[in-house]
């Protein structure tokens, strides 16, 4: 016992010595040291100890000070944690395994499916990883480390400005800035996980592997998604590499054609590739007119953004798209707060505007497809699904009431989806005759106005700085914009960006596809301005989720603070529709997969390419496979096996099963032809497009 006590005292003394810096008086330590000696002398005599305590109450070694307690608690917690961890590791692996649902891979393997056709995966925007090959001094030590994707986001917190600089492209050329080389991560690792635990392709890859796929018949066509499509070829030879890979896989797998699985923007990238590969060399790949027919069995587009996404508009216009880039979905708090010194939005916007690829996602087809001031193909869309998924409880109680009320409102409060941007709620609701017309000619006149507020605005330079206050207000005065006038608007607010990007992308509808101008590569990624290649045996699938409210048009307002650095427009979050309306937080919603509206994903397969049309002269078969969104039923499911949202759909078992069946040799009719939940057919019928 005595020894225990002594030990304790020693500890006290030690701790006191250790903690002198915190403020113990030095004489106290001396005293304690004395006492320690005494203790040693009288170690065996317990009574003496007690006496001493009586005599020298003040010297009694002391108290847990705050620091000690902290140490103690932390030590306690750590020890417990380690113990638990130890036990956890001691447990046999089998005991802890979550009873996993047998994935489609296992199921289909039992059915006897084996790998047949090689598979090419084409990732979409933002999901592909980017790594650094050459950088400025601030990025020291990041050589061949990921700047984007793959869980390197800790770096963003360490040196945000540096990373933004490295991820930006040159504003004029849309290629690398001087002295910076950022390249796509090649291989399957390029886009299997976006961040640790946030899968993109991983689930699909794993299931494909179950029936025998591996490195030799599975390829990830990684490309730098920031560049315009033709530039990926000019800078990285990405298209040539893809061509060579497909040819190699075709030959080395016993002359089996390839099944391509593009996702999101990868869809239009692959469309571009299909045109490129058959075009003669200087501009194209020189594969000859039969290349696609010879090498490609099917193109299985997942969440295709064929006709663009409205989200891209808001992103370019005000960097506000709810989540066109998943960063903001991943870390909303971070980017909305002001870690970058009051200019987060401006910097992000400036970076995003250097990326040509975003321009490829602007809505294509103009008013014919997306609707004009007064009509839109989605007219009469019922917006009750947002309620269903968000608040189930309230739904169960007022189920009946709700639907009745809603129907009542629908008549009054029709959303004018055609007006992609309107300033103020009235502008989005009023009949078109009451609105001032947006005249594109007007822009050209005002754009020359001198910019008198172009004084030093920090480094975050957006083209808004070059606009005068007058012209900013003038834009807002025009009230409402459709897809056609929207392009004029963007050309007005960001002339340089649009000039750069429009050399690579086009957003119109071709009148006459035989016009020789359509041989230029800028038309290749627009399905409305190119012919599909001559490959009658090929199949095109449009696979996408439905049942999630998707941004379709916006209500804007002028930004209140007119600081020189700020973006002068912002989405008017305060505008809400009445119950049952599709307007929420300044955004009109339509049916879709959270990013791509049904219209954009399904129209080409439903109408534009169905049968023999002028866009599809050889009559390639098209199939629509829709997947109704069901939120995960329990936490165990993670992001859900029946999800329909834009990225999570890659973990949708039904979709994976379809892909695997096709990869194993099935045709579209064998997997069940069309599977439609939305009213895409009706919508398409409303679109008046000469076919």
Contacts to another protein by CB under 8 A: 1, 4-5, 7-8, 11-12, 15, 50, 53-54, 57-58, 60, 62-66, 68-76, 78-79, 89, 93, 97, 133-134, 137, 140-141, 143-144, 158, 181, 183-184, 186-189, 192, 205-206, 209-210, 212, 214-216, 236-237, 240-241, 244, 247-248, 251-252
> In which element (H, E) is residue 187 found?
none
The nearer residue to another protein, 134 or 670, going by C-beta atoms, is 134
Beta bridge partners of 296: 258
Return d(Cα 187, Cα 237) in angstroms, integer: 15
> Taking a C-beta distance cutoff of 8 angstroms, is the pair 193, 163 a contact?
no
Considering the candidates 591, 593, 648, 658, report the single residue annotated as catalytic.
593
Considering the candidates 264, 506, 600, 678, report the single residue annotated as catalytic.
264
Q: Is 431 an active-site residue?
A: no
The nearer residue to another protein, 11 or 85, going by C-beta atoms, is 11
Plot region of 356 (φ>0 → left; ψ -120 to 50 → alpha; else → beta): alpha
Beta strand pairing call for 296-302 and 539-546: parallel
Return d(Cα 291, Cα 603) in angstroms, integer: 26
Nearest to 649 by CA among 200, 192, 198: 200
- Cα angle 93, 96, 98 (rounded to 5 degrees) comes to 120
Return d(Cα 664, Cα 114) in angstroms, integer: 6
What contacts 530, CB < 8 A, 6 or more positions away? 271, 275, 510, 513, 518, 523, 524, 615
The nearer residue to another protein, 78 or 691, going by C-beta atoms, is 78
Considering the candidates 263, 507, 629, 646, report the single residue annotated as catalytic.
646
Nearest to 370 by CA among 611, 551, 204: 551
Helix (H, G, I), strand (E, B) or coil at 281: coil
Q: Is 559 an active-site residue?
A: no
Beta bridge partners of 543: 302, 625
Q: What are phi and psi of 468, to 5 degrees?
A: -85, 160
- At its nearest, how many Å lie between another protein and the CB of residue 271? 22
The nearer residue to another protein, 66 or 411, going by C-beta atoms, is 66
Helix (H, G, I), strand (E, B) or coil at 419: coil
> Taking a C-beta distance cutoff of 8 angstroms, is the pair 260, 245 a contact?
no
- At its nearest, how many Å lie between another protein and the CB of residue 70? 7
For residue 168, CA distances in Å to 148, 237, 238, 344 come to 12, 20, 20, 14
Helix (H, G, I), strand (E, B) or coil at 587: strand
The nearer residue to another protein, 247 or 637, going by C-beta atoms, is 247
Q: What are phi and psi of 7, to 5 degrees?
A: -60, -40
The nearer residue to another protein, 57 or 516, going by C-beta atoms, is 57
Return d(Cα 494, Cα 317) in angstroms, integer: 9
Q: What are phi and psi of 561, to 5 degrees?
A: -85, 120
- At its nearest, how many Å lie between another protein and the CB of residue 78? 5
- At its nearest, how many Å lie between another protein and the CB of residue 209? 5
The nearer residue to another protein, 161 or 564, going by C-beta atoms, is 161
What contacts 244, CB < 8 A, 6 or more positions away? none
Tokens of 155: 């770096």
> Taking a C-beta distance cutoff of 8 angstroms, is the pair 363, 420 a contact?
yes
Return d(Cα 372, Cα 558) in angstroms, integer: 23
What contacts 465, CB < 8 A, 6 or more positions away? 451, 453, 454, 457, 564, 565
Nearest 10 degrees: CA dihedral of 119, 592, 307, 673?
50
The nearer residue to another protein, 181 or 517, going by C-beta atoms, is 181
What contacts 547, CB < 8 A, 6 or more positions away? 385, 389, 591, 628, 629, 630, 644, 677, 678
- At its nearest, how many Å lie between another protein and the CB of residue 633? 23
Q: Considering just the CA atoms, what is the radius of gyration of the chain in Å?
A: 31
Q: Dmax of the chain from CA atoms?
A: 110
Tokens of 28: 């106290």
> Taking a C-beta distance cutoff of 8 angstroms, is the pair 206, 103 a contact?
yes
Q: What are phi and psi of 505, to 5 degrees?
A: -135, 150
Return d(Cα 603, Cα 528) in angstroms, integer: 11
> Taking a C-beta distance cutoff of 8 angstroms, is the pair 231, 355 a contact?
no
> In which element (H, E) is residue 688 found?
none
> Taking a C-beta distance cutoff of 8 angstroms, is the pair 187, 241 a contact?
no
Q: Is 252 an active-site residue?
A: no
Catalytically active residues are: 264, 593, 646
């Amino acid at each position: 016992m005595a020894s225990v006590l002594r030990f304790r005292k020693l500890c006290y003394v030690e701790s006191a010595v250790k903690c002198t810096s915190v403020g113990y008086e030095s004489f106290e330590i001396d005293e304690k040291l004395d006492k320690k000696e005494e203790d040693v002398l009288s170690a065996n005599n317990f009574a003496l100890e007690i006496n001493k305590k009586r005599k020298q109450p003040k010297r009694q070694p002391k108290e847990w000070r705050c620091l000690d307690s902290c140490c103690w608690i932390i030590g306690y917690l750590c020890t417990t944690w380690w113990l638990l961890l130890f036990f956890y590791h001691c447990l046999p692996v089998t005991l802890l395994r979550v009873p996993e649902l047998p994935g489609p891979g296992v199921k289909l393997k039992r059915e006897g499916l084996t790998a047949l056709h090689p598979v090419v995966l084409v990732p979409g925007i933002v999901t592909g990883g980017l790594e650094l090959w050459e950088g400025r001094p601030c990025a020291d030590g990041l050589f061949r480390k990921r700047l984007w994707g793959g869980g390197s986001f800790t770096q963003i917190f360490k040196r945000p400005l540096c990373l933004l600089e490295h991820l930006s492209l040159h504003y004029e050329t849309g290629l690398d800035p001087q002295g910076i080389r950022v390249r796509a991560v090649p291989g399957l690792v390029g886009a299997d996980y976006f961040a640790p635990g946030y899968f993109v392709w991983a689930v699909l890859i794993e299931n494909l592997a179950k029936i025998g796929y591996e490195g030799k018949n599975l390829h990830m066509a990684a490309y730098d998604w920031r560049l315009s499509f033709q530039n990926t070829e000019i800078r990285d030879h990405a298209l040539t590499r893809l061509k060579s890979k497909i040819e190699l896989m075709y030959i080395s797998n016993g002359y089996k054609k390839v099944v391509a699985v593009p996702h999101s923007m990868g869809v239009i990238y692959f469309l571009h590739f299909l045109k490129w590969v058959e075009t003669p060399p200087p501009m194209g790949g020189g594969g000859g007119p039969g290349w696609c027919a010879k090498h490609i069995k099917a193109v299985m587009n997942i969440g295709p953004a064929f006709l663009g996404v409205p989200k891209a508009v808001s992103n370019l216009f005000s960097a506000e798209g709810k989540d066109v880039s998943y960063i903001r979905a991943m870390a909303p708090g971070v980017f909305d707060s002001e870690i970058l010194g009051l200019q987060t939005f401006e910097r992000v916007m400036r970076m995003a505007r250097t990326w040509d690829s975003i321009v490829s996602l602007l809505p294509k087809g103009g008013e014919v497809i997306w609707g004009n001031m007064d009509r839109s193909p989605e007219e009469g869309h019922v917006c009750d699904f947002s309620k269903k998924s968000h608040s189930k409880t309230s739904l169960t109680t007022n189920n009946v009431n709700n639907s009745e009320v809603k129907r009542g409102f629908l008549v009054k409060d029709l959303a004018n989806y055609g007006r992609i941007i309107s300033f103020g709620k009235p502008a989005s609701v009023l009949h078109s005759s009451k609105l001032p017309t947006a005249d594109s000619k007007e822009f050209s006149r005002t754009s020359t106005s001198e910019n008198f507020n172009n004084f030093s605005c920090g480094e975050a330079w957006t083209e808004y700085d070059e606009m005068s206050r007058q012209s900013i207000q003038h834009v807002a005065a025009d009230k409402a914009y459709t897809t056609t006038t929207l392009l004029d608007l963007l050309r007005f607010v960001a002339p340089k960006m649009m000039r750069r990007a429009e050399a690579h992308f086009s957003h119109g509808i071709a009148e006459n596809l035989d016009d020789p101008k359509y041989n230029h590569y800028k038309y290749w990624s627009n399905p409305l301005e190119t012919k599909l290649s001559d490959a009658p045996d090929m199949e095109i699938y449009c696979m996408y989720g439905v049942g999630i409210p998707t941004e379709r048009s916006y209500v804007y307002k002028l930004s209140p603070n007119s600081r020189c650095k700020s973006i002068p427009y912002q989405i008017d979050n305060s505008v809400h529709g009445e119950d049952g309306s599709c307007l929420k937080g300044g955004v009109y919603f339509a049916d879709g997969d959270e990013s791509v509206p049904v219209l954009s994903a399904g129209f080409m397969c439903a109408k534009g390419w169905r049968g023999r049309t002028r866009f599809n002269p050889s009559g390639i078969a098209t199939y629509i496979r829709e997947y109704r969104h069901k939120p995960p039923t329990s936490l165990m499911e993670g992001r859900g096996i029946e999800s329909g949202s834009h990225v999570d759909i890659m973990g949708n078992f039904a979709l994976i099963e379809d892909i695997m069946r096709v990869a194993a040799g099935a045709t579209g009719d064998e997997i069940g032809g069309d599977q439609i939940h939305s009213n895409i057919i009706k919508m398409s019928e409303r679109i008046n497009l000469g076919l």
